[in-house]
Amino acid sequence: SYELAQPPSVSVSPGQTAAITCSGDALAKQYTSWYQQKPGQAPILVIFRDNERPSGIPARFSGSISGTTVTLTIADVQAEDEAHYYCQTADRSATWAFGGGTVLTVL
Amino acid sequence: QVQLVQSGAEVRKPGASVKVSCKALGYTFASYAIHWVRQAPGQRPEWLGWINTATGSTKFSEKFQDRVTFSRDTSASTAYMELSSLRSEDTAVFYCARCDYSRGHFDYWGQGSRVTVSS
């Protein structure tokens, strides 16, 4: 198994930019996805293949990678963006894992 | 449109088994894998494994490989997850999720099935 480390929490004011990181050795070799989860709901895919956005996800959401750290960036944060965010990747043995999650608070 | 519709909430006693279903709608069932994820209250999602819906082959997380079974009924476009030897720590919401065979992301998720293990 392998670990993906995320900060437990990130807080920003509306209109500011939030950056959520995810670190792990596997990330240098495999693509990372990001999911948004609101209380009582199933996760929703917001970024895949490090920096691609599914249809229907606002352009405010973007992803990037540098070495073994991937970053989810949310520009012009809205109140509706308040949620838990999880990174996810798979290793070469086809085993998937999720990061510990980051709660985004919109002040 | 694409939907994954899961079976309802279940309550089981410790030591029992539970089987959760996941019916796929709006796409060709065998064209995508189905993954299973568990999420205990206040915890991160935890990957259980996946099933190749075309061939029936499976792969499990080491943590669950002795207790979990995946199956599918292609005629009903439905995947199943059975977890045995339940303990209180298995109390969680179980999700199925669709995954393209050539990619690693879960683009659609079921609504979740809550399993409560209590004596």
**CA distance linking residue A64 with residue A71, whole number of Å:** 5
Chain A hits for B46, Cβ within 8 Å:
98
Find all residues with CB under 8 Å of B35, minimum gap 6, and list them.
A96, B47, B48, B49, B50, B96, B97, B98, B99, B106
Structure tokens at A79: 């109140």
Chain A hits for B47, Cβ within 8 Å:
95-98
A31: nearest Cα among B32, B103, B61: B103
A48 → closest Cβ in B63, B103, B112: B103
The distance of A35 to chain B (nearest Cα, Å) reads 9
Mean pLDDT of chain A: 93
Q: How far is CA A55 from the centre of its chain?
A: 17
Taking CA–CA distances from B39, the nearest residue in chain A reads A42
Q: Does B52 touch chain A (CB under 8 A)?
A: no
The distance of A92 to chain B (nearest Cα, Å) reads 11
The distance of B65 to chain A (nearest Cα, Å) reads 12
The distance of B47 to chain A (nearest Cα, Å) reads 6
Q: Do B45 and A33 touch (CB under 8 A)?
A: no
Query: Under a CB-based contact definition with an 8 Å cutoff, are residues B20 and B115 in contact?
Result: yes
Q: Tell me what pLDDT residue A93 has.
A: 79
B99: nearest Cα among B62, B50, B61: B50
A42 → closest Cβ in B62, B105, B111: B111
- pLDDT tens per residue, range A44-86: 999 999 999 999 999 999 999 998 899 999 999 999 999 999 9
Rounded to whole angstroms, the maximal C-alpha distance in chain B is: 43
Q: Which helix (H) or strand (E) holds B17?
A: none
- pLDDT tens per residue, range B68-113: 999 999 999 999 999 999 999 999 999 999 999 888 899 999 999 9
Q: In terms of C-beta distances under 8 Å and separation of at least 24 residues, what long-range contacts does B71-77 make, across chains too?
A: B72/B29, B72/B34, B74/B29, B74/B30, B76/B23, B77/B23, B77/B24, B77/B25, B77/B29
